[in-house]
Amino acid sequence: MTGSVDEMLDFGDKLPSFPTAVAEAIRMLSSETSDTDGIAAVLQRDQALVAQVLKMANSAFYGVSRRVSTVKQALLVLGRNAVRSLVVAVSAQEFLGRAQPGYLLARGQLWEYSLASGAAASLVAQKVGYKPADEAFVAGLLHDIGKVVLSEYLAERSVELAELVGLAAEPVGFDTIEQELLHIDHAALGGMLCDHWQLPARLSHAVRHHHNPSQAGDDWQLSAVVHAANALTMTVGIGLGVDGLQYVLDENALMRLGLGGDDMEILADELIDQLSRPNPFG
Amino acid sequence: MKTTNVGLAEYKISSKPDEALGILGLGSSIGLFFFDPRTQTSAAAHVMLPAGRDEEAHPTKYCSSVVPFLLEQMTAAGAQIDELKVAVFGGATMLSSGPTSLLEIGQRNTAAAAEALTKAGLTPVVSDTGGSKGRNVTLEVATGYVTVKVLAQPDRVYADLTLGPEVGR
Alpha-carbon span B16 to B150, nearest angstrom: 26
Pairing of strands B2-5, A248-249: unpaired
Residue A237 to residue B50, Cβ atoms within 8 A: no
Q: What is the ipTM of this complex?
A: 0.92
- Dist CA B63 CA B108 (whole Å): 10
How far apart are the CA of A156 and the nearest CA of chain B, in angstroms? 14
In a domain, A222, yes or no: yes
Distance CA A23, CA B159 (A): 55
Residue B68 lies in a domain: yes
Hey, which bits of A221-282 come out as E strands?
A: 248-249
Q: Considering the domain boundaries, does residue B32 fall inside one?
A: yes
CATH at B46: 3.30.1330.200
Q: Is A168 on the interface with B (CB under 8 A)?
A: no
Per-residue pLDDT of chain B (169 residues; tens, 9 = 90+): 899 999 999 999 999 999 999 999 999 999 999 999 999 999 999 999 999 989 999 999 999 999 999 999 999 999 998 889 999 999 999 998 766 667 889 999 999 999 999 999 999 999 999 999 999 999 999 999 999 999 888 899 998 676 555 544 4
- Given a cut of 80, whether residue A89 has pLDDT beyond it is yes
Which among A166, A235, A244 has CB closest to B105? A235
Q: What is the CB neighbour count within 10 angstroms for residue A166?
A: 9
**Under 8 Å between Cβ of B43 and B5:** no
How many domains does the structure of chain A reveal?
1
Query: Could you tell me how many helices (H) and strands (E) chain A has, helices first?
Result: 17, 1
Find the closest chain B residue to A270 by CA distance: B53
Calculate how close chain A gets to B159, using CA atoms only, in Å.
24
Q: How many angstroms separate the CA atoms of B94 and A88, rounded?
A: 30
- Whether A160 is in a domain gets the answer yes
- Inside any domain, residue A116: yes
- Nearest beta carbon to residue B29 from set A161, A173, A236: A236
Whether residue A98 is predicted with pLDDT greater than 50 in this model: the reply is yes
In a domain, A78, yes or no: no
Assigned domain for B156 exists = yes
Query: What is the phi/psi pair of residue A191, to 5°?
Result: -60, -45
Scan residues 200-229 of A and list those with Cβ closer than 8 Å to B: none
| Contact call for residues A141 and A115 (beta carbons, < 8 A) | yes
Range of the domain at B95: 2-163
Domain with A244 in it: what CATH number? Answer: 1.10.3210.10
Total domain count, chain B: 1
Q: Has residue B169 been placed in a domain? A: no
pLDDT-derived band of residue A7, with 50, 70 and 90 as boundaries?
Answer: low
Residue A186 lies in a domain: yes
Say if the Cβ atoms of A240 and B151 lie within 8 Å. Answer: yes
Using DSSP's 3-state secondary structure scheme, residue A96 falls into helix
Domain-embedded: residue B55: yes
B82 assigned to some structural domain: yes
B42: left (phi over 0), alpha (psi -120 to 50) or beta: beta
CB pairs under 8 A between A and B: 126
- Show the domain range for A136: 4-16+98-276
Contact, B26 vs B89, CB < 8 A? Answer: yes
Alpha-carbon dihedral sign for residues A96, A98, A104, A108: positive
Classify residue B168: in a domain, yes or no: no
User: pLDDT tens, A135-182?
Assistant: 899 999 999 999 999 999 999 998 888 888 876 666 789 999 999 999
Which residues of chain B lie closer than 8 angstroms to A248, CB-CB? Answer: 94-97
- B124 part of contact set with chain A, CB < 8 Å: no
Q: Is residue A46 part of a domain?
A: no
Residue B111 near chain A (CB below 8 Å): no
